Structure 1
């Protein structure tokens, strides 16, 4: 949920992409980035009542990997609700994890991208690298499952499991920190450019869920 200028953040510019109007250009860019990585997403799918009684609408839900993604611009530091969501949805299993996703639901904060490395063709490359962190708890690492080929974020809680197919991936893949810059960040153009993979859920799919 993007803060307004009245909340101490930067002014958000509504941006349309893939039939969805996002509250900010940064949110739209994150949607394009998720599409490029073939990660399905839903935009502001539900209002969550937190244990404190506050109502929170996270920006993205990634239904195939059980991840909430909250997008924050460079001057929007407030993540109290995202932090509370982490504590409410994290795994509490004492022995073997029986959560719907390994380790429970994961919450990450999407930031403004790292800049391009300048090696792309053209004078003004439109893609840098995705930057993220976690509001609380274990750090999130980006990887691609060697079994189902799903790109995703996981924690280093053992055993390392794919959040999509549940396969044990420890020893079979490389986990990347945000600083490693493993994920291309896509920045849209005024011409309506779209990522090569369109993985946003349709309204019909949302209704079925």
Structure 2
């Protein structure tokens, strides 16, 4: 189904089904987030689980990053139902009375993946292929993006101490953490005209070749 909603430029975004790799996504923004995760070497599954929330509402989050314990809900500005992501975040947060014993430090993390920063629309319903990933947490502390030098995984964490890799629990106290507004994480367009953007890198690092579409996500 096609619908429109307010975009970051106060225009509209056409939410139309978009194929990326072997997966048909419900919107171009979802497909672009899949391409962005691929471009930053983050493994993902698309809509892998139907969750019944504590309120009784049924919720199907867009992405599950199974190595990191992170859910991502791709939502353009003004899209309703973000309260379900907030309820999931609250329900899955760590409630350990002492040191965290959750499978992932701090419990499961939920992010709202927004339309990219520093992007202006060039055609109706189409975004250029360059920009920076924009995210927020619907509940709890802000999320920061960084790289683990021990297991080489890119990821989001909150700044609740101790700062640990969500995959290998290596200490990350000495790593640089980026906010969305720092504009360090490349946003990648999924459509053939856009191609892959550049993965996040520190100055002086070599950038790896971009993977094939869907290489790091579902094979459907």
TM-score relative to the length of structure 1: 0.85
Query: CA 1:189–1:11 in 2, change beyond 3 Å: closer, same or farther?
Result: closer
Counterpart of 1:183 in structure 2 is: 185
Q: 2:81 aligns with which of 70, 78, 81?
A: 78
Please say if residues 129 and 188 of structure 2, whose CA atoms lie closer than 8 Å, have aligned partners that are also in contact: yes
Matched, 1:34 2:11: no
Please report how far the alpha carbon of residue 161 of structure 1 lies from its aligned counterpart in structure 2 after TM superposition: 0.1
Question: SS of the residue aligned with 1:185?
Answer: coil
Aligned equivalents of 1:88, 1:44: Cα separation in 2: 18
Aligned equivalents of 1:130, 1:144: Cα separation in 2: 15
Q: Which runs of 5 or more residues in structure 2 are unaligned?
A: 7-11, 121-126, 198-209
Counterpart of 1:13 in structure 2 is: 16
Q: Which structure has the highest helix share of the two?
A: 1
Query: CA 1:192–1:7 in 2, change beyond 3 Å: closer, same or farther?
Result: closer
Aligned equivalents of 1:77, 1:153: Cα separation in 2: 24
Cα deviation 1:31-84 (Å, max 9, x = unaligned): 000001000000000100000000000000000100000000123153110010
Counterpart of 1:140 in structure 2 is: 143
Two-structure CA RMSD over aligned residues (Å): 2.5
Please say if residues 142 and 151 of structure 1, whose CA atoms lie closer than 8 Å, have aligned partners that are also in contact: yes
Matched, 1:200 2:182: no
TM-score relative to the length of structure 2: 0.81
Counterparts of residues 12-161 of structure 1 (less than 5 Å): 12-115=15-118, 126-161=129-164
Please say if residues 20 and 191 of structure 2, whose CA atoms lie closer than 8 Å, have aligned partners that are also in contact: no
Please report how far the alpha carbon of residue 10 of structure 1 lies from its aligned counterpart in structure 2 after TM superposition: 5.4
State how many pairs are aligned: 194
Greater Cα shift, 162-171 or 74-83: 74-83
Please report how far the alpha carbon of residue 12 of structure 1 lies from its aligned counterpart in structure 2 after TM superposition: 1.4
Cα deviation 1:159-187 (Å, max 9, x = unaligned): 1000011111112x101111001210001
